[in-house]
Amino acid sequence: EIVLTQSPGTLSLSPGERASLSCRASQSVSGRSLAWYQQKPGQAPRLLVYGASSRATGIPDRFSGSGSGTDFTLTITGLEPEDFAVYYCHQYVTTPRTFGQGTKVEIK
């Protein structure tokens, strides 16, 4: 099983600032099969990025993903008020598929 470790647990930032979220895998995620989701309270997760760096349909370009192997990053350039939420990384290359424990981006 691939264990995903996200850091930091909480990120306190102001609107307009840049957020950098890390996801580290216990073993290499081949094919860059790593996705990022955003979840707001009371809502289902929403797919933001797949294939480590491809934005899902309708996702603003302030969201960008990067990385390969065991180290991946989600960057939000210029936080908007609606971006304050919890973010999860997810590997889907092997079974069982797994999620990270989440990073909460909160308003400072």
100 binds another protein (CB under 8 A): yes
* Binds another protein (CB under 8 A): choice among 63, 84, 87, 88: 88
35 binds another protein (CB under 8 A): yes
11-16 long-range contacts, CB within 8 A, separation 24+: 11/103, 11/104, 11/105, 11/106, 12/106, 12/107, 12/108, 13/79, 13/105, 13/106, 13/107, 13/108, 14/79, 14/107, 14/108, 15/79, 15/80, 15/81, 15/107, 16/78, 16/79
* Binds another protein (CB under 8 A): choice among 8, 31, 60, 78: 31
Shortest reach from residue 8's CB to another protein, in Å: 15
Between β-strands 10-13 and 103-107, what pairing exists: parallel, antiparallel or unpaired? parallel
Shortest reach from residue 81's CB to another protein, in Å: 23
Under rule CB under 8 A, which residues in 46-85 are in contact with another protein? 46-47, 50, 56
Where along the sequence are the contacts to another protein (CB under 8 A)?
Answer: 1, 31, 33, 35, 37, 39, 44-47, 50, 56, 88, 90, 92-93, 95-102
